[in-house]
Every structure is written in C-alpha cells, then in structure tokens.
Structure 1
Amino acid sequence: MTDRASLQAVLRHDRLLILGGLAVLTLLAWGYMATMAVRMSDAPTGMLAPTWGVSDFFFAFGMWSVMMMGMMLPSASPMILTFAGICRQRDAGTPVMHTALFVSGYLLVWVGYSAGGALLQWAFHALALLTPMGASTSPLLAGGLLIIAGIFQWTPLKDACLTGCRTPMGFLMAEWQPGGRGALMMGLRHGWNCVLCCWATMMLMFVLGVMNLLWMAVLTAFCLIEKIAPAGDRVGRTAGALLVGWGVWLITSGML
C-alpha cells in the first residue's frame, strides 16, 4: 500500500470515528429534548414554577445547552471533519483528542449563549410573555423577534460569519494553531463565529416554543442548508425576507 493510500485509509478511519461520536452526542441531545418535551406537555403548568427561582434558571440553562448541542453539531460537522483531516496531516499522532478539544471549545461558546437564552426566558416568563412550553403569547414579541432575525439575514456581519462557516478550509488555514491548546482556541473561535452567525435564528425558538421539537428540527435543517448547500447563502436571504413579512403580519394582525 502506498503512503498516499495509507493516509487515505487512516483519514477514513478518523472520519468514521469522529462522525460516530458526533452522531451519538446529537442523538443523546435530541433524546433528552424529546423526553423533556413529553414531560412538559403532560404537566398542566410545565416543569417550571410560576415564579422562577435559581433552580429553575439552572434547569432552563441545562435545557438550552443540550438543545444548542443537538441543533448546532450537525451544521458544524463539515468544519469538524475538515479540522480532523488537517490535524492528521499537520500534527503527529491521532487527531481524535485534538478534535475533541476543538468540539469542546465550540460547544463551550454555545453554553455561554445558552446562559443568555435562559436569562431571556426567565425575563419573558416573569413578564407573562411565554406559555409553559416556552412559546410567545405576545404578537408584538413574536413579530419583533421574526423581524430582527429576518433583517439580520441581510447584514454584512451575517454574510461574513456565514462565509466562515461555509468555507471550512479557508477558515482553518487562517486560524490554524498547533497542538491541543491550539485546537481548543480554534474551537472557541469557530464557536464564536457560529454564534454570531446564528444567534438571531436561535432566538426564534421563543416564537413557536422552546420545547417544540418540530420547530427545533426546522431551524436545525435551516442552519444546515445555510452552511452546506451550494446556494445556502441565497436561501438564508430569502428566508430573511419571509421572516420579516411574517413578523409584520403578526404585529399588524395583533393590533386589529
């Protein structure tokens, strides 16, 4: 077997191992969210107290963290696999540990975002703007979130961050740092880029329900299409226009 063939065989092995790990994490996250959704739908007032305490915040924080992992890992997979391939060729030894550090850095940023999401849910809950399943009860709130998310799809910041997600090789070549610390730092950097790209889209969970599994699946598919489809950027801008129209309709209809 030639050296090139040997490298390709090793890369395939790494890719399968990493894909398997990502699939397990994603399935565990979705399984947890499905269990929580069923339990909350069966409870008359949900699983959160009418007046939140510290324990309710941490419950929501954990729920958001798992939800972000399940929703964002699929669209991050091309970047993660590209990182693993480059790591195998640049750094000696197996790239699996460095890839685990990269993924940990990526998810750590989304955990920070989840803390913000839980705080917002706490505030909306205190103002009686959410149902027990986390859906907006206010056309003004729902419409406002839709309009913000729609407008953001057309901003230069969105375009720049999405370009980073859509071109894994270019992103990694520009950000490459060797070793385990470098892997963690690159994961953090990619996580930050991804949060800047998708923060407004994830806020749409408050429109139809934080625990709405169908809504979660739609947004997960949308993020995946944006990042990997040939015309994903155009799909995103088209969706932005539709979101603005939906938001305007909700607000105006709520005022009638």
Structure 2
Amino acid sequence: MAARMMGMPVGDAASTMLGAALSPGAAALADATVNFFLVALMWVVMMVGMMMPSAAPTILLFSALERKRTATDRIASFVAGYFAIWSAFSIAAAAAQTVLSHTGLISMQMATTSAVLGGTVFIAAGLFEFTPLKERCLVHCRSPLEWIPRHMRPGQLGAFRMGVEHGAYCVGCCWALMLLLFVGGVMNLIWVAFLATIVLVQKVLPGGVTLARFAGVVLVVCGIALLARPLIFA
C-alpha cells in the first residue's frame, strides 16, 4: 500500500496481464478498489489491536458466565459481533481517509497536512468527552457485570447480537478519539498505542468519567494550540 501511494510499481505478472485486459477506466477502478480494500483492512486490524485490551474484561466476564450457565461455546460469536461493528466503523474511516487523500489533506504518513483540520478534530474530540452520549457509553463499557446478565440472549445468533450491541456502545464511546488518528498519523504506531492507552485507562481505572473529562480538557487545549500555531509563526 505504501508503494502504491508513492507511485512505485507493485504489480506482478498476473496484475500486469489483468491491467492489459481491462480498459483504462476499468483498470483505474480496479486499482482504486484494491487500494480501498487495503486501507479498510488496515483499519480493521488496527481497531482489533487498539480495542482488544479494553474489551478483554467484558469478553472474559462473558466467557466466565457462559461456562457456568451452558456447555455451548458462544464466546467466538460474541467477539465476532463486537468486532463486526468496529469493522463497519473501519470501512467508514477508510472512506474518510480516501476522501482526505484525494483532497490533499492527508500526507504520505496518513496524517493531516492542515493545522486547521487537525486543531478542529482535537477540539471536537475534546468537547465530545463532556457529552451525555460519551458518559452513557463509557458507563456501559465500565459496567459489564450489570449489562450482560440483563441482556443475555440464547444461541449463537444471540451471542453475536450481544457482541454487536456492546460494540455499538464501545464505538459510541471511542469514535471521536479514533478520529485523532488522522491528526497524529494512522501509521504512527506510537500515536496508535497512546490512543489505545487512553481508551484502556478510561474503561478500566477508577473514575473513568472524570478521566475522560480531563482528557477532554487536554484535547481542547491541544486543539487551540494547533490552531494558533500558524498565526504565531506567520
């Protein structure tokens, strides 16, 4: 994918033959489709890596309750449902990245090239930390012991639906923080690990709502500083 972005030849014999067999328009569409698939796949893998640590307590609790109440193994269905909703988010994020790439607002390192856009995303993510939606979703993610027994559904499909529902709360809690990947760089592993740590701290440590609001203040301040930087150094 990096080679494609830099304009380097990446085709093998099969892709060369395919390109020769297609019209220029069809070949361009096929290439764009492959690129989008790669970007979406990258986002899916990244979301799994970032969210698994904070989702682990809920998954382990579901596993423990399942072993006590039934011999059926539904843990995989629950996890699949959880990451199905994050996969949908990944496709949306890949679409946003594609648009930003075509408008020149994202660099080769997949980070925004606009201080205004970066500062705006920081401020928006910070303000979201104070919203009732953030608090509701975060409280849900922090209290799986209250939610799982009350929403237990039978069968593999039921476990999958539970995973989807829990994943929807998780996306509602963290989507704004995930947008910060466009600012620090989607391929910046240190930035990815930093954001994953923020999510983990908010969901696991005591006082998660307070920690979220503290993070919100820091994000807003960073956003204001980023917006002011071009003015100061103009």
Shift in Å, 1:179: 2.1
Displaced runs of 4+ in structure 1, greater than 4 A? 46-49
Q: Note if 1:45 corresponds to 2:9.
A: no
- With over 3 angstroms needed to count, the CA separation of the structure-2 counterparts of 1:47 and 1:136, relative to structure 1, is farther
* TM-score, length basis structure 2: 0.85
Which residues in structure 2 correspond to 1:116-195 (within 5 Å)? 116-195=92-171
Shift in Å, 1:232: 2.3
- With over 3 angstroms needed to count, the CA separation of the structure-2 counterparts of 1:48 and 1:167, relative to structure 1, is farther
- With over 3 angstroms needed to count, the CA separation of the structure-2 counterparts of 1:114 and 1:141, relative to structure 1, is same
Name the aligned partner's letter for residue 67 of structure 1: M
Which residues in structure 2 correspond to 1:1-256 (within 5 Å)? 40=2, 45=6, 53-91=32-70, 93-94=71-72, 97-256=73-232
The answer to whether the 8 Å contact 1:150/1:244 transfers is yes
Distance 1:118 1:198 in 2: 17
Name the aligned partner's letter for residue 59 of structure 1: L
Q: Considering only CA atoms, is the larger Rg found in Structure 1 or Structure 2?
A: 2
Shift in Å, 1:48: 11
Shift in Å, 1:58: 0.9
Distance 2:52 2:190 in 1: 17
For the residue of structure 2 that corresponds to 1:53, the secondary structure is helix
Shift in Å, 1:159: 0.2
Shift in Å, 1:231: 2.0
For the residue of structure 2 that corresponds to 1:136, the secondary structure is coil
Distance 1:46 1:198 in 2: 34
Shift in Å, 1:254: 2.2
Superposed CA RMSD? 2.2
In structure 2, runs of 5+ residues without a counterpart are 11-28
Distance 2:184 2:218 in 1: 16
Q: How many residues align?
A: 213
Distance 2:166 2:5 in 1: 40
| CA displacement, residues 126-153 of structure 1 (integer Å, 9 cap, x when unaligned) | 1101111111100011011111110000
* TM-score, length basis structure 1: 0.78
Distance 1:236 1:101 in 2: 30
- With over 3 angstroms needed to count, the CA separation of the structure-2 counterparts of 1:231 and 1:68, relative to structure 1, is same
The answer to whether the 8 Å contact 1:153/1:236 transfers is yes
Greater shift, 107-116 or 167-176, is seen at 167-176
Distance 1:231 1:66 in 2: 29
Distance 1:43 1:113 in 2: 24
Distance 2:101 2:156 in 1: 41
- With over 3 angstroms needed to count, the CA separation of the structure-2 counterparts of 1:149 and 1:183, relative to structure 1, is same
| CA displacement, residues 113-172 of structure 1 (integer Å, 9 cap, x when unaligned) | 000000000011111011111111000110111111100000000000000100011111
Indicate the percent of aligned positions where both proteins have the same amino acid.
Answer: 41
